[in-house]
Chains A and B, each alone.
Chain A
Amino acid sequence: MLKLPIYLDYSATTPVDPRVAAKMIPWLTEHFGNPASRSHPFGWEADKAVEDARAEVAKLVNADPKEIIFTSGATESNNLAIKGAAHFYAATRGKHIVTVATEHKAVLDTVKELERQGFEATYLEPQSDGLITPEQLKAALRKDTVLASVMAVNNEIGVIQPIAELGEICREAGVIFHVDAAQATGKMPLDLAALKVDLMSFSAHKTYGPKGIGALYVRRKPRIRLEAQMHGGGHERGMRSGTLATHQIIGMGEAFRLAREEMAIENERIRMLRDRLLKGLQDIEETYVNGHIDNRVPHNLNVSFNFVEGESLIMAIKDIAVSSGSACTSASLEPSYVLRALGRSDELAHSSIRFTIGRFTTEEEIDFTIKLLHDKLGKLRELSPLWEMFKDGVDLESVQWAAH
């Protein structure tokens, strides 16, 4: 028996893996010490557990544990990386920032805040497949560019940006390179020993860890320095003060350990499910996949269904939990800014559905979803005058709509 609604929104958040939860709980109750307490074993054991978790986080991305700073999540990590580096290096390197129009709001809003403070920003427009090219970045860099921020994996369309090439360009130009990898961990290998990335943001709750915890990778060689955004007791080598949430950190460590050990096998299974979903939806007419189909994580399928109205579609498919746009902006009625940046029309942006598949998705759930979409789209289009016109061969682009 299927449990409804079926969760296909793993890019919004993931359940905490039961193995992760089991590891966290003792650190709420019997091992509850403050890791900063130096005078008793309650503190020492918490401190040791935090350091073990830090090592696990570092290991997933082939970094040194000393390069990992715990934060409250990827949004805070993005704020700390971008504002922290921009403020620290503005005087010596300049006040120009390069980012991409399809970044997460945590990056875009942070860059906008810096613009209000007198920084200048260039927003690269991706191609219609959602990717930017190394040449685009190269052309945007200036003498006074202090930082470039490009996400590894897009949260809405799942495309993978060419981080390795972009990193080479930044390193050569002496520009600090920040990567938001919130959607990448556990979905693709990340090797910070090879990548020329200076700062990288992580989140636990997108990778079967708990909410409320994330990390920022801060490179030591060559050393990157940051201006702290949260001041106090000097935790996290002065870069982020505040009592460390031991159980959450341990949860993140365990989640990242599982990701490292199981990623290869898990992603094959997820790819198979995604391909099954794609195949099942492709025989619906006027269906468009958003974003590059190969250069993306296997978890993501973002599809626009032409000739249906977005809100009606969402209402019709309540038995599946999906996003139309990203979770963080879905409360607004504006069409997805990511799809608009790809050049999709307002109509296609509005009628887009993001399916994101994860660890606990089953074949049965995918088959249910395919059938649901076929049924509901059929019904909605039956009611649609636009669909009727389209089927009658009317070129809708050429129709002159009368004003009311």
Chain B
Amino acid sequence: MFAPAYLDHNATTPVAPRVLEAMLPFFGQQYGNASSRHEYGRAARRAIDTARQRVAFAVGAHPTEVVFTSGGSEANNLFIKGVAANLPAGLAAISAIEHPCVREPARTLRRQGWQLREIAVDVDCRIASADFVAALAEKPAAVSTIVSVMFANNETGVVQDVARLATIAQDSRAWFHSDAVQALGKIPLDFRSLNAAGVHALTLSAHKLGGPKGAGALVVDKRVDLAPLIAGGGHERGLRSGTENVPAIVGFGVACEEAIVRMAETAARLRGLRDDLEHGLAARGAVIFASNAARLPNTTYFSLPGLDGETLVAKLDRSGYAVASGAACSSANPEPSHVLLAMGIAPATARGAVRVSLGPETSATEIAGFLQALSATVSDLQSMAAISTAAH
């Protein structure tokens, strides 16, 4: 069977074998509802408690700070709307490169009288400190403030200095949140020290690090007065009602454990492969976005001058390489990436963007093969372009 090489790990990842093995008993055998008082229910509750400890340990948090949700989108919605619901309308400051599941809930706050301010990034996708300070300085000190800056960007892989930004935001008594979905398992996260610097919550997702889809978490400082998004039954300390998704939560716990154990080793190996890839790309005339910034070790985002990204990924797919032209959620959307536009990249260049994101199972052979396929694709497209220019 023809199986394409999967180089789109920032969209989603396969479930790791040990994760699957841990999940399976909870479908057909230990299927209890964790709220039931009998042994079936208690077994489910114990499994959730263990998973909560594993997730907490992976990010240096206390288990009681972990609120399980259906995924990263829900956790982002929960924080932004949940904090805003218990505050008088004020300022919501989010970076210009946030995922739609931070940007869109922040936009809904405007209807309740909140002012929305997007914080600029520089050409390397880093939060512009001056604009960050300015955004917080624009409002009176007493006005309630919510700040959300993603830990690592899904498209460019750029890692923000979240602790430093949170320290700045502390002067404004801001409620500071960071979407860490892409960072978890790829780079170290320590909620204790982040929390000390002024970060109040982190969003996590299972399916980006070898866990199942359908589980995520909000790691949240208990001083945050959060209104639930989903009411009814009072699960998760009243912050998220609904029967717990036991197999997915169990899988999330094991995926965290696995990723953390291997993180340093995997990161070093992927960084090596990514460097090889970028050498090859540069030799083919590619522009590599945000290459001067600190990035996740697995992500490359590039553009080849004169070539359309959508066309390129379609061709690469036919050659057996699965990559993305932008974030998966907005892949149907022909607009150039809002992240690249925020970085000040010209729309024509942004339309050429291709994202390659590696995973623990990515091999050197796949990277070499990808570069070969890319060369072949580019010559094809260039000769087609030449023919069509000649015809005009």
- The complex places the Cα of A75 from the Cα of B230 at a distance, in Å, of 7
In the complex, are the beta carbons of A243 and B32 less than 8 A apart? no
Q: Which B residue sits closest to A325, measured CB to CB? A: B37
CB distance from B86 to the nearest CB of A (A): 12
Scan B9-45; emit 1 where CB is below 8 A from any A CB, else 0.
0011111010010011001110111011111110000
Question: Does B241 touch A at the CB level, under 8 Å?
Answer: yes
Whether a CB of chain B sits under 8 angstroms from the CB of A210 is yes
Most interface-central of B6, B15, B242, B248 (chain A CB within 10 A): B242
Interface membership of chain B positions 328-347, coded 1 if the CB is closer than 8 angstroms to chain A and 0 otherwise:
11111000000000000000
Within 8 A of A (CB), among B69-87: 70-74, 76-77
Q: Please name the residue on chain A nearest to B77 by beta carbon.
A: A230
Query: Is B300 located at the chain interface by the 8 A CB criterion?
Result: no
Verify B233–A40 contact, CB threshold 8 A: no
Decide: A72 and B74 in contact? CB cutoff 8 A: yes
Chain B proximity mask over A339-378: 1 for CB below 8 Å, otherwise 0 = 0000000000000000000000000000000000000000
Asked if B242 contacts A72 (CB within 8 A), the reply is yes
Given contacts A30-B14, A36-B329, A72-B245, contact A242 B38 (CB under 8 A): no
Q: Which of A103-111, A162-170, A184-192, A278-286 contacts B (4 or more CB under 8 A)?
A: A103-111
Rounded to whole angstroms, the CA-CA distance of A108 and B231 in the bound complex is: 9
Query: Can you list, as one digit per residue, whether each of A233-274 has a CB less than 8 Å from chain B (1) or not (0)?
Result: 111000001111111100000000000000000000000000
The minimal Cβ–Cβ distance linking B186 to chain A, given in whole angstroms, is: 17
| Interface segment out of the listed B96-104, B278-286, B375-383 | B96-104
Interface size on A, residues (CB 8 A): 74
Task: Verify A106–B32 contact, CB threshold 8 A.
Answer: no
Question: Would you call A335 an interface residue if the criterion is a C-beta within 8 Å of the partner chain's C-beta atoms?
Answer: no
Q: Is B67 an interface residue (CB 8 A)?
A: no
Q: Which residue of A lies closest to B325 (CB)?
A: A39
Which residues from B are CB-within-8-Å of A329?
Answer: 233
Is A113 at the interface (CB under 8 A from chain B)?
Answer: yes
For residues 219 through 238 of chain B, which have their beta carbon under 8 Å from a beta carbon of chain A?
229-234
Within 8 A of A (CB), among B315-364: 317, 322-325, 327-332
Chain A residue nearest to B99 in the complex (CB): A232
For the complex, what is the distance from the CA of A37 to the CA of B213, rounded to whole Å?
A: 14
Does A211 touch B at the CB level, under 8 Å?
yes
Q: Which of B31, B71, B107 contacts A245 (CB 8 A)?
A: B71
Would A39 and B70 be within 8 Å (CB), given that A73-B243, A110-B231, A232-B105 are in contact? no
Known contacts A28-B20, A72-B242: does B317 contact A14 (CB below 8 Å)? no
**Complex Cα–Cα for A79 and B232 (A):** 8
User: Which partner residue on chain B sits nearest A36 by CB separation?
Assistant: B328
Tell me the nearest residue of chain A to B310, going by C-beta: A39
Residues in A whose Cβ lies below 8 Å from that of B322: 37, 39-42
Instruction: Contacts A33-B12, A75-B233, A321-B39 given; indicate if A242 touches B70 (C-beta within 8 A).
Output: yes
A287 at interface (Cβ–Cβ under 8 A)? no
Query: Which residues of B lie under 8 Å from residue A104 when comparing CB positions?
Result: 232
Smallest Cβ-Cβ distance to B314: which chain A residue: A39
When the two chains form the complex, which single residue of B40, B108, B329, B332 contacts A5, counting CB atoms closer than 8 Å? B40
Q: Which residue of B lies closest to A232 (CB)?
A: B101
A75 touches B243 (CB 8 A): yes
Inter-chain CB contacts under 8 Å: number = 259
Minimum CB–CB distance for A123 against chain B, Å: 15
A106 touches B233 (CB 8 A): yes
Which of chain B's residues 82-128 have a Cβ closer than 8 Å to chain A? 99-101, 104-105, 107-108
Task: Please pick, from B37, B247, B329, the residue contacting A210 in the complex, using a CB distance under 8 A.
Answer: B247
Cβ-defined contact, B212 with A13, below 8 A: no
Q: In the complex, are the beta carbons of B100 and A106 less than 8 A apart? A: no
Known contacts: A211-B244, A327-B35. The answer to whether A242 contacts B233 by CB under 8 A is no
Most buried by A among B29, B245, B317: B245
Which of A7-66 touch B at CB < 8 Å? 7, 9, 12-18, 21, 24-25, 28-30, 32-34, 36-43
- State whether A108 touches B232 (Cβ < 8 A): yes
Q: Which residues of A contact B14 (CB under 8 A)?
A: 28-30, 32
A205 within 8 A of B: yes
Nearest CB in chain A: distance from B3 CB, A? 8
B327 to chain A: closest residue by CB: A233
Q: Cβ of A321 and Cβ of B35 under 8 Å apart? A: no
User: What does the 1/0 interface line of A204-245 toward B look like (CB < 8 Å)?
Assistant: 010000111100000000000000011111110000011111
Q: How far is the CA of A211 from the CA of B35 in the complex (A)?
A: 13
Complex: A74 Cα to B29 Cα, angstroms: 22
Q: Is the CB of A36 within 8 A of B331?
A: yes
Q: Contact partner of A34 among B11, B73, B246, B325, CB < 8 A?
A: B11
A210 neighbours in B (Cβ, 8 Å): 27, 245, 247
Residues of A within 8 A of B36 (CB): 9, 12-13, 321, 323, 327, 330
Complex-state Cα separation, A248 to B105, whole angstroms: 25
B258: Cβ under 8 A from any A Cβ: no
Chain A's nearest CB lies how many Å from the CB of B313?
4
Closest chain-A Cβ to B145's Cβ sits at a distance in Å of 20
Known: A72-B70, A110-B232. A231 touches B101 (CB 8 A): yes
- How distant is the Cα of A231 from the Cα of B327 in the complex, in angstroms? 16
A79 to B35, CA, bound (A): 20
B213:A248 contact, CB within 8 angstroms: yes
Nearest A residue to B206, CB-CB = A245
CB-CB under 8 A from A403, the residues of chain B are none
User: Is the CB of A322 closer than 8 A to any CB of chain B?
Assistant: yes
Tell me the smallest distance from the CB of B8 to a CB of chain A, in Å: 6
Docked CA distance A385–B46 (Å): 38
Contact sample, A vs B, 7 pairs, CB 8 Å cutoff: A9-B33, A16-B28, A18-B28, A24-B27, A29-B20, A37-B12, A37-B331
Q: List the interface of chain B (C-beta within 8 A of A).
A: 4, 6, 8, 11-15, 17, 20, 23-24, 27-29, 31-33, 35-41, 70-74, 76-77, 99-101, 104-105, 107-108, 205, 207, 212-215, 229-234, 241-248, 310, 313-314, 317, 322-325, 327-332
Q: Residues of A with Cβ closer than 8 Å to B?
A: 5, 7, 9, 12-18, 21, 24-25, 28-30, 32-34, 36-43, 72-76, 78-79, 104-110, 112-113, 203, 205, 210-213, 229-235, 241-248, 314, 318, 321-323, 327-331
